Amino acid sequence: MVYAKQRHKVLVHYVGKYLGAKRILGTNLQKAGLTLQRVVWSRRATSWDEMSNPGLDRVVGEVLRLVGDRPDANALDLGCGSGQLSIPLASQVKSVVALDIAPKMIELLRSKLETGGITNVTAAVGSVQQYGIVNGSVDLVCSNYVLHHLSDNEKLRFVKDCFEWLVPGGELIFGDMMFGRGSTADDRAVIADKVKILMKKGIGGYWRIAKNGVRYLFRFQEKPISLAAWVDMLKKVGFVEINTQRVIAEAGVICAKKPQ
Ligand SMILES: C[S@@+](CC[C@H](N)C(=O)[O-])C[C@H]1O[C@@H](n2cnc3c(N)ncnc32)[C@H](O)[C@@H]1O
């Protein structure tokens, strides 16, 4: 009996140590992931800003269409980049708080705001995981092509946070890559389509297939989930009136409401 009790104590001790180590490792991995995003996107900021991509423009256009005119709305744009969504959004709402993890993106956005005389956008550096936003203070949360950079746990945390930040009746509207890990025919069609498009671009395209393939397979930087998985997550958190639309093969938009 005494022996069994001691064994139990030892077991509890080691399980505790294991869980502690796992938590520390998880926190450090998350910090490392954020640092990586900050560095990668600061380096890519200018090329992303100058890039023209009709597919991405269509996704931004669809997010803006779903927002419509909301002259009284205070909006957030999370992972705003250099303002691809925040700048046109500013003309549809009362105010926009635009946040991005990469300082260079925020620098570019601020300079565009100044040049364009846009005064209702506040741009700041910060990560989706660490924004200090007051609960019940936001009418609209928007985001475009950012959430596939978050791990699945971080996506769930993000959706829960948005639910808290929104006023009753407020909406979360976002566009992103939306396909899973190849287990459904839809996923495989999207992946095949992406590969075909890149193959047409020659050597550069093959390089991107290899690079993105590794990132996608090992869920490193590129971690999209399917439209259906997003809908499940939003429902679980309590969102209602969830509308989805596939805009281009790889990407869709989702609009979800916090109940009144
Ligand atoms: C593909 S770009 C999209 C930029 C912009 N939203 C657009 O529509 O073009 C992804 C952006 O997400 C930002 N980002 C990535 N991970 C982030 C995080 N954890 N928190 C905040 N921003 C993040 C990057 O710095 C980058 O500006």
The answer to whether residues 83 and 103 belong to one domain is yes
For ligand 1, residues with CB inside 6 Å are: 34, 37, 41, 48, 60, 79-81, 84-85, 100-102, 105, 127-129, 144-146, 149
Distance 108 CA to ligand 1 centre (A): 13
Model confidence, pTM: 0.84
In-domain check, residue 131: yes
What does the H/E/C string look like for 188-215? HHHHHHHHHHHHCCCHHHHHHHHHHHHH
In-domain check, residue 132: yes
In-domain check, residue 154: yes
Which residue matches tokens 């297939």? 209
The answer to whether residues 198 and 156 belong to one domain is no
Name the domain count of the chain: 2
The answer to whether residues 59 and 92 belong to one domain is yes
| Tens-place pLDDT, residues 79-123 | 999 999 999 999 999 999 999 999 999 999 999 999 999 999 999
| Tens-place pLDDT, residues 169-217 | 999 999 999 998 777 777 777 777 777 777 877 877 787 777 667 666 6
Expressed as residue numbers, the domain containing 197 is 185-216
The answer to whether residues 66 and 160 belong to one domain is yes
